[in-house]
Amino acid sequence: MTTRVPIVAGNWKMNKSAVEAAALLEGMLSELKAITGVERVICPPFVALAALAPRLAGSGIGLGAQTMHWEDSGAFTGEVSGLMLKGLCSHVILGHSERRAYFGETDETVNRRLHAALKHGLVPIVCVGETLAENEAGRTAEVVTRQMKGALVGLTEEQAAGLVVAYEPVWAIGTGKAATPGGANDVIGGMIRPALAELYSRALAQSIRVQYGGSVTAANAAELFAQPDIDGALVGGASLKPSEFVAIVAAARG
Ligand code: PGA
């Protein structure tokens, strides 16, 4: 069996100025640093990346952006490119459901962003997940398979090996209603890994880390991480609370 190092990322979304972000990080940095055996990533808003980068340098903790544009530069008002992020951060969240729902990201543009992220040496955290309506209509497999395959168009097995996937059912994000550990595990092990195995090898499908995201807290993290196919979490609300986030990361250590 492949051993996958768990990865827990904090998605701070549109919260915290650069000054506030530095203070928030300060409140958890030494404890996060002390946790071994878990890849840790902080994803603040763009404006806080430059403030956090020197504080995280040499800490072993990754720094991630929350999206990026696929072009390197040009007339794209308001956008930030992978070329700009390169050297500043290590990771980038792509295709988060909020980006898909409110800012027009699609499977096709997630795919373009993914190619650009890899070109610039950023580790992509690719988000997939079904809405409540899709879930209730029994369309989860169809939706996550389409999102996975759409995101990965044109990626070689070698490129795909560098990905992290986050399974985030939209109905569980920010609602306080996390998926059941078994339910999330079934989607990851029964739909997401099989989609990867169809595109690439079985070995690759088993080696890629797949996080769960959606109302992860210190109270439910251990049970989620005990599932065989869940390799950590993408944490929103709880990542803004230092003791809560540290406890979630610690729970991933196993
Ligand atoms: P949540 O958000 O933990 O607040 O549910 C997760 C996410 O959107 O990544």
Per-residue pLDDT at 141: 98
Closest by CA position to 239, among listed 231, 229, 251, 247: 247
Neighbours of 157 (CB within 10 A): 12
Catalytic residue among 39, 91, 96, 105: 96
Per-residue pLDDT at 1: 53
Is there an atom of ligand 1 within 6 Å of 216 CB? yes
Amino acid at 235: V
Which ligand 1 atom lies nearest to the CA of residue 172? 5
Which ligand 1 atom lies nearest to the CA of residue 93? 9
Convert the pLDDT of each residue in 209-243 to its tens digit: 999 999 999 999 999 999 999 999 999 999 999 99
- Tell me, yes or no, if 96 is annotated catalytic: yes
Give whole-number Cα distances, 31 to 51, 72, 213, 237, 245, in Å: 19, 36, 22, 19, 10
Residue pair 231/237 in contact by the 8 Å Cβ criterion: no
CA of 118 to the centre of ligand 1 (A): 24
Closest Cα to atom 2 of ligand 1: 236
**Cα gap 152→84, rounded to integer Å:** 23
pTM above 0.95, yes or no: yes
Per-residue pLDDT at 3: 87
Convert the pLDDT of each residue in 28-66 to its tens digit: 999 999 999 999 999 999 999 999 999 999 999 999 999
Options 3.30.350.10, 3.20.20.70, 3.40.50.1000, 3.40.50.300; CATH of 7-38+45-212+223-229: 3.20.20.70
Tokens of 59: 């800490």
Per-residue pLDDT at 147: 98
Q: Helix, strand or coil for residue 69?
A: strand
Residues of the chain with confidence (pLDDT) below 70: 1-2
Tokens of 123: 């580790």
